[in-house]
Amino acid sequence: MAIIWMDGTWGDRTTARISVFDHGLLYGDGVFEGIRAYNGRVFRLKAHLDRLYDSARAIALTIPMPLEEMGAIIEDGVARSGLKEAYIRPIVTRGDGDMGIDPRKCVKPTILVIVDSIKMWAADRYENGLTMVTAGTPIPHKESLNPRVKSLNYLPHVLAKHEANTAGADDAIMLDAAGHVCEATGMNLWMVKDGVLKTPPPHAGILLGVTRAVVFELAAAAGVEAREEMLNRYDLYTADEVFLCGTGAEIAPVRQLDGRPVGDGRPGPITRNIIQRYRALTRGD
């Protein structure tokens, strides 16, 4: 069962309550992180909290506790949960306000930390690969809300996921208005061509994922060239391998995109190598 810390008190999903006037609910006015713990050890906690506090700063939201205190709450929650593998979701909203949009009406931010488990796809998808489609819903313009802010505004990604569901696919690729590949519905994307790993750069309008940074580290350790490059669907259609990465998804191979097999339709050698290295890093396999 999930346990939840909210403004100083531990509870669960039956006791945790948030005001209907909270601006996180009314306007998506807030930021969050998704963090994993393996064998009771929180993975890349500092990197996640740095991004959380940077996201809050970018939207002029002051988190009323030091970063170190937030980290201690998260580690306490993992210990309390008793979960061997936990998924942690710290959330900071603008707080309780009124029906108006003015952030000055919110006197104090609301802070929550949810500790639970997560399952993105069945085990066979990680073994055999995901099927994906290109979403018609474009990713939000990068100048409207900087994608490096991990905000509570995820409606375009939800709609893209709905498109994948309707098409009978596991997930969707999101493009910008010019047709450049950006990311999946909540994961960064990688492709392999001629032995080189490629992923969209920050100016493509993507969230700079913590797991994305880990993949660069793993590729370097494996002696595989990894670089940032603007990509389009042609690049993915002709790729040798494609995979997704994210805290919740971990490393997930893709076997089909828009009805076209990726490579030979099976997870490729570089993808399998990265998966193995990621599992060794996180779980000690």
Residues annotated as catalytic (active site), given as ranges: 150
Number of H helices, E strands in the chain: 8, 16
Indicate the pairing of strand 181-184 with strand 110-116: unpaired
Tokens of 171: 């997930």
**DSSP-assigned beta bridge partners for residue 30:** 93
Distance between CA atoms of residues 206 and 201, nearest Å = 8
Distance between CA atoms of residues 190 and 161, nearest Å = 19
**DSSP-assigned beta bridge partners for residue 77:** none
Distance between CA atoms of residues 243 and 251, nearest Å = 7
Distance between CA atoms of residues 64 and 109, nearest Å = 7
Three-class DSSP category at 131: strand
